[in-house]
Structure 1
Amino acid sequence: MLLRRNAPALPLPGPDGKKPDSKKIVSWNLLRRTGAAVDCLVALIEQERPDFLLMQEATKEIAALTKRVGGVYAWAQLPGRIHGPAMWSPTPWPNPPEIVTLPPGVLIDRVCQVLDTGEFGVANVHLSHGQVLNRRQLRRIESHLPPRAAVLGDYNIVGPALLPGFRDVGPRRPTHAMVDVLPLRLDRCLVRGLVCHERMVLPRGLSDHHPIVVHLSPAPEGAVSVGRLRGMAEAVGRLRRAGVRGASGRRGRPGAGGSETSSQ
């Protein structure tokens, strides 16, 4: 669902300390229905002046945002659910976001939005729980991205988000309401071929997630291929370390056979 309104958009980001050629992106899981509503988003936009606002768990009511602040808005409802990912920007996009179907989880069939801004790709994600499925979904998303890209949103993981060729440049602070019990950094930003100039976590307001903010710009020519090679090397290194740990464990177990393999 793509909405364009005739209402004037709020002013573009002004002199706020970010590089002139960088893009300010805010990502926020709204907590469907009971969480952040349009008023909260209007206040956020007026305060932060983002180039792109990515939302997870947005409901159909959030479409009213364009009546308040103008701009362009797109929503992708999850199959059988009342919510889904949404994007807003003060200026029109070259093309509407692509809706990418992800490998399904047990309870929820998920989709993500992939936008080509003209400078780089932006994926708005709300991934499933579980490391294996999570990584399968990331690989599906990566296949729809240009060489320079950012993947932002609710990753629903506690450990590292692994995608060869990408770096985690998001804020290192906890982003979920359970921080009083267990610090959880569920909201991430992975990039390839981009430079992150600034990152921060904002107050969470009525949601159970904090918004995250990143300032991104394209990396110099050649950095994309270098990043891919570095990502491949890191993946090989992890596999080798896993093999060493598995071999050490087998040597320490009486009667363990030398041909047994160990998974990470």
Structure 2
Amino acid sequence: MEHKNKSLATATSQAQGASADPMVDRLSSVPCEVAHHILSLVSFKDLTRVGSMSKRCREFHLSTPSLNFSSLYGNRQQQLNLLNCIDRYMIGRREDKIKSFCIKWDFCAGISEESLRMMTWILIAVRCNVEVLDLELRLNRKDGATLELPSCIYCCESLRSLLIRTETVLKAPSFACSNNLQYLKLTSVRMDDGFGKWISCSCKFIKEVLLENVHVGSFTIESSSLESFTLVYTYNSDPCHFSISGEKLAQISIE
């Protein structure tokens, strides 16, 4: 009887010891590059959940190089909750490199606190040496909203691709500065020839420019590095004048 009690005590002790051990998740054991690739495929909501699994997973969560934020689905309250969550994440993030930073956001009322907080996220992305910046920002056109991106974007030496889609006025930078931008895509924006001047003067390594349903009176580019220029003019009947020239220009496409 005594032996049986000792056996039960030993079994109970072993069971308690096993339950006290922390749960080992599979993601914590994979190489950093593999974990980052996996996390690049999930939503921000799922990324946040991963960060709560373990200390190692939190490191992956805060250092993932590909970030995608979207408010295009959900009600106003869900959007506000997401704003606060992204704020905490971006502030808590270290200066680990960001390769790709994508925002798809539907503003409720023009330029507001939302846009100011979003510009802070972009500043952090630039600080983290972002390479691809993809912005799809839907503002209220009835408010006459004008989008002015942080000036550091246009001087960001790490940035290689810039994609902007917004049905509002997009202000061109008012100064010249060098960058290493190679690909530029502007969609549905309203702009003046300032962007053409900026490309000509500041984008010395630009290879491809794609303008899709933009609203502009005139647009002039003179570039020694530009190889491809594409103009898609499907839903826009406004008259415009384009002048594109370059030593390496091999392809001009107008659709």
TM norm structure 1: 0.29
Higher percent of residues as strand: 1
TM-score (norm 2): 0.30
Which structure: greater helix fraction? 2
